[in-house]
Each structure stands twice: as structure tokens, then as C-alpha cells.
Amino acid sequence: WLQVDFEYSRLIVAIDTLQYLDESQVYVKSYKIAHSQDESQWVWYGENGSPQVFECKSDGDQAVRNLFDPPIEARLLRFYLFDYDEYASVRWELFTCE
């Protein structure tokens, strides 16, 4: 997983993902998001405690935006690869509101 610490609670409203494809065409197929206020208790983003699985586009030409509805209020956020090829990589960007 990858973790971001915003140092204080933020309202996270969206995530963009963009595949990095090379000649071997390895990529991330899907991912999940967890968040926390204090790093001791993590909550999956989803309904009723079940993590939502977000799909990644695999052509590498255009970013895919997923909106968090409801937005996530958290200090820390983790990006978990769920289904991916070995050595896969993905670029991602978070959007927040103050």
C-alpha cells in the first residue's frame, strides 16, 4: 500500500489514476482505499464496512477520476492495490477541499 499523511484532517473528494504502461503492458486493474484520523484505526471506504473496489483504466492515455460520495474526512489515506500484474505501477492524484 501507499500512504499519504496530510498532517491534519482534510476533506478528500476525488482520486485520479493513470496507468504507466510499457512494452510489457503490466498494470493495476483495481484498488481499494482506507482512511484514518490517527493511524491506529483504519476504515475502508465503502458501504457497511465492506471496501469498495475501484477499477483502473488500462490504456494509459487518460486519467480516470473517481469521486468519493460521500467525501472522505481523514488525516491519512492508504491506496491498496487489489488486482494487479507483478511489478505494476500507477500514477495517482488526490483532490481535497479545505
pLDDT > 90 in the chain, percent: 57
CATH match of 2-97 with 2.60.120.260: yes
- Express each pLDDT in 6-33 by its tens digit: 999 999 999 998 877 666 666 788 899 9
The CA distance from 72 to 98, in Å, is 12
